[in-house]
Amino acid sequence: IRVPADLRLLATTALMVDESVFTGESVPVVKQIEPVPPDTPLADRRSMVYLGTIITSGRGIGVVVATGPATELGKIAQLARGEAQPETPLQRQMARFARLVALFVVIGIGVISAFGLLRGDPLVLLFKFAVGAAVAIVPEGLPIVLTLVFAVSAQRMARRRAIVRQLAAVETLGSTTVIGSDKTGTLTENRMTAHSIWAAGELLSLTSPHDGSEHAQTLRVPVHDLHRYSFWHLPPAARVLLTGVLANEATLVPREETEQELEGIGDPTDIALLVAGAHAGLVREEVEQVYPIVAVVPFEPERRFAAVVSRVGDTLYLFAKGAPERIMEMCSSWSTPTGTAPLDAEQILAAAQDLAAQGLRVLGFAAGPIAPETAERLEALLQPHDLTFLGLVGLWDSPRPGVREAIAQCTEAGIRVVMITGDHAATAAAIAEHLGIAARQNGVLTGRELQRLSDEELREAVRRVSVFARVEPEQKLRIVRALQANGETVAVTGDGVNDAPALRAAEIGVAMGKSGTDVAREAADIVLTDDNFVTIVAAVEEGRGAFDNLRKATFFLISTGAAMIFVLPFAILANWPLPFYPAQLLWLNLVTNGLQDVAMAFEPKEPGLMRRRPRPRREGILSPLLWERTLLSGLVMAAGTLYLFDWTLRATGSLDLARTVALTTMVIFQNFQVGNARSSTRSLFRMSPISNRVLFVAVLAAFGIHVAALYLPITQFVLRVEPIPLEIWPRIIAIAATILVTVELHKLIRRRWPRRDSWEASHTQTPETPVQPAPTARALS
Q: How far, CA to CA in Å, does 596 sit from each of 327, 673, 740?
A: 74, 10, 17
CB 633 within 8 A of CB 739: yes
- Tell me the C-alpha distance between 250 and 245, whole Å: 9
Q: Where are the beta strands (DSSP E) in 535-671?
A: none
**Nearest Cα to 324, choosing from 377, 390, 250?**
390
Residue 85 host element (H or E):
none
How do strand 178-181 and strand 188-199 relate by DSSP bridges? unpaired
Q: How far is CA 628 from the centre of its chain?
A: 34
Give me the catalytic one of 182, 270, 548, 597.
182
Residue 403 host element (H or E):
helix 403-412
Partners of residue 468 on adjacent β-strands: 420, 445
For the chain, how are helix, strand and coil distributed in percent, rounded to 5? 50, 20, 30
Q: How far, CA to CA in Å, does 174 sit from each of 261, 287, 490, 677, 747?
A: 37, 53, 11, 20, 24
- Tell me the C-alpha distance between 366 and 307, whole Å: 9
Q: Can you spell out the DSSP letters for 315-342?
A: EEEEEEEE-HHHHHHTEEEEEETTEEEE
How do strand 526-528 and strand 315-322 relate by DSSP bridges? unpaired
Query: Among this protein's residues, is 211 annotated catalytic?
Result: no
Partners of residue 423 on adjacent β-strands: none
Residue 584's CB: how many other CB atoms inside 10 A?
A: 22
Q: How far is CA 115 from the centre of its chain?
A: 55
Helix (H, G, I), strand (E, B) or coil at 516: coil
The residues, any chain, with a CB within 8 Å of residue 256's CB and separated by 6 or more, are none
DSSP 219: G
Which amino acid is located at 611 in the chain? R
CB 368 within 8 A of CB 386: yes
Handedness of CA 285, 290, 292, 296 (dihedral sign): negative
How do strand 467-469 and strand 445-446 relate by DSSP bridges? parallel
CB 395 within 8 A of CB 192: yes
**Nearest Cα to 173, choosing from 406, 618, 507?**
507
Angle ∠(473,474,479) on CA atoms, nearest 5? 95
CB 151 within 8 A of CB 607: no
Helix (H, G, I), strand (E, B) or coil at 630: helix
Q: Can you spell out the DSSP letters for 11-48?
A: EEEEEEEE-HHHH--SSPEEP--S---TT--GGG-TTE
The residues carrying an active-site annotation are 182
